[in-house]
Amino acid sequence: MNEAKRRELQAVAHQLRCNVLEMIGIGKAGHWGGSSSLAETLAVLYFHAMRVDRADPKNPERDRLLLSKGHAALIQYAALCELGYFPREELKRVKSLDGLLQGHPDLTVPGIEAVTGSLGQGLSLGVGMALALRLDKNPARVFVIMGDGEQSEGQLWEAAMAASNFKLDNLTAFLDWNKIQATGRTEDIFSIPALDAKWRAFGWDVLTVDGHDVAAIAGGIEQARAVRGRPALVILDTVKGKGVSFAEDVATYHNGIFDETRFTQAMQELAARKEAV
Ligand SMILES: Cc1ncc(C[n+]2csc(CCOP(=O)(O)OP(=O)(O)O)c2C)c(N)n1
């Protein structure tokens, strides 16, 4: 990836974080942590790697992105808004009953491919879609994003076995390895050592990239795309809450509240990062 493209995608990632923080606002709980850890990945997917059709979000040959960790919906809304899939005003009405954007992904939102939020289910949905696309000889690819806390869900491992059994090389999964789940560190709550070896043992091609380096993420996706005869997993080495100093690597901001002072500081920090690109 050339330097201009790298900077462009990094700027998109910063913009997505700003959108998320605006949606959360002051004095209301919102999933900052697990949204911000995915900013670079969604910037690369939607604005570089995925086949998207801005004029026709339902184009049958579009690539599909499923956010299995559906509680991080705000980062997906942030990206879909930048793609122009719905008016920016919707961001202000997020999580209100008269708004388009609810707390978890819903099929009423253009660009959302599956209802998610009950952890562990997104990969099963992705396996079904990847199988159907292959049967239809449709060249579209399926991308599924899971959390590290989510790895304790049993259904996910059934889906992992099915994907390798069916040799789904049109399926790429991501594991947002931010090391924190809802209430604390993942290894303290439900430790699953050697995740990479476990996924390999389930028949997947596995690679790990710096999840805040847009060029590394793009390279990982390319590598995954080249794998034949089995699905691929890209482990994203990330920091939960990335981009706002006091919220980085802190479980409180999984679904935390920004008071006015903190909100202002967070916005200033994000603006400074955007400027620095
Ligand atoms: C089946 C199920 N159990 C519990 C929850 C509640 N819950 C929401 S987010 C979360 C933690 C998820 O952690 P992780 O997958 O690491 O997500 P991230 O830290 O990346 O946000 C939990 C337990 C849920 N959404 N679904």
Q: Is 219 exposed, middle or buried (0-12, 13-18, 19+ CB in 10 A)?
A: middle
pLDDT, mean of residues 153-157? 98
Instruction: Label residues 80-102 b or e (16+ Cβ within 10 Å = b).
Output: bbbeebbeeebbeebbeeeebbb
Q: Is 87 helix (H, G, I), strand (E, B) or coil?
A: coil
CATH (one of 1.10.150.120, 2.130.10.10, 3.65.10.10, 3.40.50.970) for 3-276: 3.40.50.970
Distance CA 45, CA 274 (A): 19
Atom 16 of ligand 1, nearest CA residue: 149
Does the pLDDT value for residue 250 go beyond 90? Answer: yes
69 CA distance to ligand 1 middle (Å): 7
pLDDT in tens, 71-108: 999 999 999 999 999 999 999 999 999 999 999 999 99
The whole-angstrom distance between residue 50's C-alpha and the CA centroid of its chain comes to 13
- The number of the ligand 1 atom at minimal distance from the alpha carbon of 147 is 15
CA distances from 211 to 13, 23, 162, 190, 245 (A): 11, 23, 26, 22, 17
> What residue segments make up the domains of the chain, in order of their start?
3-276
69 CB near ligand 1 (under 6 Å): yes
Alpha helices in 166-259 (DSSP H): 186-189, 195-201, 214-226
Looking at the whole model, is its pTM more than 0.85?
Answer: yes
- Position of tokens 């389930």? 202
Residue 277: predicted pLDDT: 87
- Extract the tokens encoding 16: 């997505």
Distance CA 74, CA 226 (A): 30
pLDDT in tens, 211-242: 999 999 999 999 999 999 999 999 999 999 99
148 CB near ligand 1 (under 6 Å): yes
Residues 6 or more apart whose CB falls under 8 angstroms from that of 236 comprise 37, 38, 41, 174, 175, 176, 177, 208, 209, 211, 217
Does the pLDDT value for residue 266 go beyond 90? Answer: yes
Does the pLDDT value for residue 257 go beyond 90? Answer: yes
